[in-house]
Structure 1
Amino acid sequence: MSSHHPPTIVLFQDKCLAHRYIRSTDTSLVFERPQRLRAVKIGVSAVISRLQQCIEGKEKKTINKNEETDESLTVALERLQISNSKPSTTLMMDFSFIRTYLSDATVDILNHPAVDYIHGTRDEAGNENGVDDDVYLRNLINWVKQSERKVSQGESEIPENLSQGDLYRSLDAIQGAIGTICEAVDMVVPRNENRATGPSRAFVAIRPPGHHCGEDTPSGFCFVNNVAIAAAHAHLKHNISRIVILDIDLHHGNGTQSIIWQINEEFYRKQTETDGEGEGEGEGDPKPVTESEKKGLQIYYGSIHDVLSYPCEKSLKKNKDGNINMVQAASVSIHGPHGQHIENVHMSSYTSEEDFWNRLYTGQYSCLLSKAEEFLKKDPDSEALIFISAGFDGSEHETPSMQRHGCKLPTGFFRRFTKEARILADKYTKGRMISVLEGGYSDRALISGVMAHIVGLVEEDGYDIDESWWSTENLSKLEKVTKKRRGGRYSVPNTPENWIEETLSVLSSIDIHSPPQTPKIIPPSTMTLRDRTKNSNSNSVVAGERQLSSKPPSRSSGSKSAVGKRTKDEEGEEGANRGNSGHTEESVVKKLPKVFLRVNPPAEQ
């Protein structure tokens, strides 16, 4: 059995580990943690070990990161035709069906055309259009630089009018994430008849996520919109004119939809202005419009999400009468009028897996793909590309606080949806498809979701895929053996199964850098000595009995309430907006023990 498709590539970016809590885990409102990337690596390692057993006669080749690149690797990288003269990716593991890379790519967000197109001037000619130049990006850089000082003073590192959440040493992570996803575009897009052997699909494991971030508004752990920037990069550098974005995160990608709405609106306006131009030949007639000038960027956005969760839930909670703006945006279905191509599908609960597949999936969920195909059919000659905003927080294995509305997706959903999106890519985009990590917050949701997602990316007819790979029993085994002991050792059973041994072997090769320890940066307390007298008229203090009173500072500099430990209800993405939820933490009172000193008189000489 051989692989007919070029290998799928998986890109990691360890700069993304630099984005971490500025507060302790008890006082932080954010649980979008660096350890998410290790869970992704475990999922990738496990599915590689399983798929390896499905391919006969294929040998695993391990590339030592510390050794010189051999001739075969050099040839492979040249075949990829990466735009940079010196690719910033290091090949870590090479299989017949998948290649894993560690990327060192990064960008300067103030000097990158695609970032500027989305979060800056937007106009390809450099003209301001709706956004005051790079004000948002400069503000973002300043927030990062000032974050540690502000938090140490008991303030919020993010302006109070914006969604609250930790922003700590994030610039390297943000710029590394953008660099890596643009590098994935540069590796996948040049695929054509003359270069049919290069990779056509990629999975990019980066963080922080991006789909809640609008043009100049951070939200929901997202500070730049990764997928939108990648789409702009594909358009500006590779002349991709039609892009499909399929968002399968539990939460609606309000930022992505807002950005692509503006892009489509601009395309529609320009198209309307050029209609009929070039027909006259008089002195005052408009100049003829060339085909290249008519070609602009058009994007289809399709999302499946829980409309009761963030950001729609946030809007409803802020106003008892219901601020329906977010709900309306998350419910739009429009295809063609005003140049818009958007499909939103609400998740629903189900009674059984049979009910899920027969009613929900084949009914409303697969509508995302059929509408995407209609969009691509309208201009089949255009260069096109498919993106998946791959969030795994809709998984059946996500935390109960995320899944309190009963919209759990069976893990098999990530396999089937990805496979059908890949078939769509094979038909309309020369197989080119890039998926980008968005949400997913429990290790089990990430491990299982990534396994199923990668199977959907690479499987072919004849592969012996067994969905028990991500059964609860096997996930428990994975969690147990990949839990590191002291010294970085794994908890390997005495007689491990073959796939377990193979998983650990792959993991040891790609899990090079461990997530950093969470810093314990706590703002200064107002600890004071309390006067404990026997009565109000007495000036004496009980010897040896003193108490320390500590009142935690509030999150913001105003009269907002203090931030305490996260409650069970706050352990959701909505927690990023609950910095002023009214919860207060009781004063911590520590009582020192009584100390009795007995002093004997000096011995007589």
Structure 2
Amino acid sequence: MAQPNPEKETESIDAPGDSRTDAPPIPSDHLQNACKPTILLQELCRSHKYIRTHDDSAIVERPERLRSVAIGLSGAIARLEQCIQSLSSSLALVSSIDDVKIKPEPQATAGDELAQALEGLTLSSPAKPLSVTNIVDVIKSASKVDLATNPAVKFIHGDIDGPGYIDQFISWASESHNKIANGGSEIPEGLNQGDLYLCPESLDAVSGALGTVCEAVDLVVNHTASDKITIPQVNDSPEKRTTDPRHAFVLIRPPGHHCGEDTPSGFCFVNNVMVAAAHAHMKHNINRVIVLDIDLHHGNGTQSIAWSINEETYRKELEREGREDATASAIATEGPKGLKVFYGSLHDILSFPCEDGNSALIQAASTSIHGPHGQWIENQHLVEYTTDEEFYKNVYPGYLKLLDRARDFAISMCQTEEVLVFISCGFDASVHEYPSMSRHGRRVPTSFYHRFTADICDFASTYAKGRVISVLEGGYSLRALSSGAFAHLFGLVNPSHDVVDDSFWSVENLTKLEKATGAKTRRSSVVPPETWLQRSVEVLAVLDPPQPKSATNRLKTAEAIPERRSTREKKKPPVETPPVSKQSTQKGATKKTDIASAPPDGIAALPSEPLNLKTEELPPSEKKVPRVILRVNPPKDLSSDS
């Protein structure tokens, strides 16, 4: 199959009715139920780099993805401020970025050994939330976890058979520089060379990503904010909206939903969302977790882990109930409840990991089971549509089955205090994603990321005390990421459906935003006079400031890995939901035979337009921060996948 030309790929598809550039302000009565979400950023996630060759131009899971999302968030904040400013001077725009105030670091509570281990996330300096605006709080997290000893990591990725997976992962990353320098690959044989890569600093990136998502759990469950950087505002009102961080968006990489208990795949080395779920369970007694996955690709790793956890909890429940001497009072006081997980996914069944027709993976990605054997899984497949009107009339109601099934799970399980909702938030189903990434015609309009997010938040307000944590998964083109994040933040703030104008993320306005933020050029851009664009540039300077020049990756000596014990029993997942196989298809190739014919550097995947997100203030190209991979110079007859 002929490969698409990355230079000619377009990343945007004009949607009907996307011509307007401005919209009327939101009426005040529609903002009464708006939430003030928290955005969590992690600088360490930039350090995960591709180092096999100097040419990473075809790598799509790259650090610049973080800037693309930040651009969309900046535009959303500016638009929300614009709407609210017309209603109340107490929610005026931010005019400067100074007067930094840092609150003292809270003291850790002594006592419980497990709690102390879970508290040991902030290993360097305290998190520094930025009160950029009254619309959101922004935290530049300094949290990390110890990959070798953290209880939540061991709960999800602990030993099953043989050497522990996390021990192996630490070794792969620590030795990656030397392995590559000696002509080898840092990724072991048997794993997909085309969609996995590591460098020594990947350990920091993964540790920081997990620390940040666990910090988000603490923030949302406790409804408290960490140390905060306060930025004064024009016409600052003495009365501020009370910080109630029920909704959080965690901007981290590498993604996680393809990683099973011991099977990295599809850019993913640890399962960020499931580690966060384990942290919530072990530290905060969250016994029921709902994961809603809206990435283009099925989260086979998350489903496999959820199945294993549910199976174990169900078995223990049966053992308790089956004991002859068991009484209701004895069972009730015997110990904490086991964790149960609802996993609901909306994905393209024709794409990775199902694209090569693997029957087990296709069956897993089509599973629908609600209660029997203790399992709660719902999969919905993306379908084609022609107009936005058709999408919301005929298609969208089917996607809401995920929430219907999640509702059944929540009602049958427990009280709302025990429920926490996660969104595995991928933006690669966007109409603006690279055609080479989403070439089966299964897409969603940008407005989906607002509407479905708002529907999730409405659901959570009834069944989970309003607590929603969204974690970045996939999404690769600049416009897919920026437009998706733009609409997604509107959903997390959650103004009423009938007052949000889709023209905010029209192609015309997205183009203006890209030009204003220098996303499409290395030269400084002249910011147009429109207020929202000027404000977007100001906010972006806080969310994603110019990066300092970074040195090339240096080999780190791996620290001694202490002996570990898993904190939960583990069994291989049953046949009904196959585990993520090390021999399963990769994002970077459509057939196993293609892997063998991949170029020596091991990258075989779709061509894709590189993301040029630099401005004059950012480091020169030779100093760019890390990027991710899909293909480097595949053979002409290689048919690849993402």
Question: 2:192 — aligned with what?
Answer: 163
What does residue range 141-540 of structure 1 map to in structure 2 within 5 Å? 141-164=170-193, 165-168=196-199, 169-191=201-223, 198-277=244-323, 279=325, 288-291=330-333, 293=335, 295-313=337-355, 316=356, 322-362=357-397, 364-381=398-415, 383-461=418-496, 464-483=499-518, 490-493=524-527, 495-514=528-547
Residue 152 of structure 1 and its aligned partner are, at CA, apart by 2.3
Question: 1:111 — aligned with what?
Answer: 149
2:139 to 79, 83, 101: 101
Residue 153 of structure 1 and its aligned partner are, at CA, apart by 2.6
Residue 145 of structure 1 and its aligned partner are, at CA, apart by 1.4
When residues 62 and 116 of structure 1 are mapped into structure 2, their CA distance, relative to the original with a 3 A threshold, is farther
* Paired amino acid for 1:499: W
* Paired amino acid for 2:430: S
* CA–CA separation in structure 2 for the residues paired with 1:66 and 1:23: 43
Q: In the TM superposition, what whole-angstrom CA distance separates every residue of 1:347-378 from its partner, at most 9, and x where no partner exists?
A: 1111222221111111x211111100111011
Check the 8 A contact 2:40/2:141 in 1, yes or no. Answer: yes
* CA–CA separation in structure 2 for the residues paired with 1:483 and 1:151: 34
Residue 30 of structure 1 and its aligned partner are, at CA, apart by 4.0
Query: Which has more radius of gyration?
Result: 1
SS for the counterpart of 1:374 is helix
* CA–CA separation in structure 2 for the residues paired with 1:227 and 1:434: 9
Aligned length, in residue pairs: 514
Check the 8 A contact 2:121/2:144 in 1, yes or no. Answer: no
Q: In the TM superposition, what whole-angstrom CA distance separates every residue of 1:195-240 from its partner, at most 9, and x where no partner exists?
A: x953111000000000000100110000000000000000000000
* Paired amino acid for 1:337: P
* CA–CA separation in structure 1 for the residues paired with 2:171 and 2:79: 46
Check the 8 A contact 2:121/2:145 in 1, yes or no. Answer: no
Check the 8 A contact 2:451/2:497 in 1, yes or no. Answer: no
Question: 1:59 — aligned with what?
Answer: 92
**Greater relative contact order (Cα < 8 A, sep 6+):** 2
* CA–CA separation in structure 1 for the residues paired with 2:384 and 2:481: 21
SS for the counterpart of 2:489 is helix
Normalised to the residue count of structure 2, the TM-score between the two structures is 0.73
* CA–CA separation in structure 1 for the residues paired with 2:446 and 2:326: 59
* Paired amino acid for 1:434: I
Q: In the TM superposition, what whole-angstrom CA distance separates every residue of 1:168-205 from its partner, at most 9, and x where no partner exists?
A: 2211100000000000000001249xxx9531110000
Residue 562 of structure 1 and its aligned partner are, at CA, apart by 2.6
* Paired amino acid for 2:214: C
Question: 2:17 — aligned with what?
Answer: none
Residue 295 of structure 1 and its aligned partner are, at CA, apart by 1.5
* CA–CA separation in structure 2 for the residues paired with 1:252 and 1:150: 32
Question: 2:591 — aligned with what?
Answer: none
* Paired amino acid for 1:333: S
* Paired amino acid for 2:141: S
2:102 to 56, 69, 72: 69
2:599 to 546, 554, 562: 562
SS for the counterpart of 2:77 is helix
* CA–CA separation in structure 2 for the residues paired with 1:576 and 1:47: 28
Note the residue ranges of structure 2 that are not aligned, 5 or more in a row.
Answer: 1-27, 107-117, 225-241, 555-594, 610-627
* CA–CA separation in structure 2 for the residues paired with 1:157 and 1:370: 44
When residues 484 and 406 of structure 1 are mapped into structure 2, their CA distance, relative to the original with a 3 A threshold, is closer
Check the 8 A contact 1:14/1:513 in 2, yes or no. Answer: no
When residues 565 and 396 of structure 1 are mapped into structure 2, their CA distance, relative to the original with a 3 A threshold, is farther
When residues 227 and 131 of structure 1 are mapped into structure 2, their CA distance, relative to the original with a 3 A threshold, is farther
SS for the counterpart of 1:312 is coil
What is the percentage of aligned positions where both structures have the same residue?
A: 46
Residue 89 of structure 1 and its aligned partner are, at CA, apart by 1.8
Note the residue ranges of structure 1 that are not aligned, 5 or more in a row.
Answer: 75-81, 122-129, 317-321, 522-557, 586-605
Check the 8 A contact 1:396/1:410 in 2, yes or no. Answer: yes
When residues 579 and 262 of structure 1 are mapped into structure 2, their CA distance, relative to the original with a 3 A threshold, is farther
CA RMSD for the aligned pairs?
3.4
Check the 8 A contact 1:15/1:176 in 2, yes or no. Answer: yes
Check the 8 A contact 2:367/2:378 in 1, yes or no. Answer: yes
Check the 8 A contact 1:65/1:90 in 2, yes or no. Answer: no
Check the 8 A contact 1:10/1:205 in 2, yes or no. Answer: yes
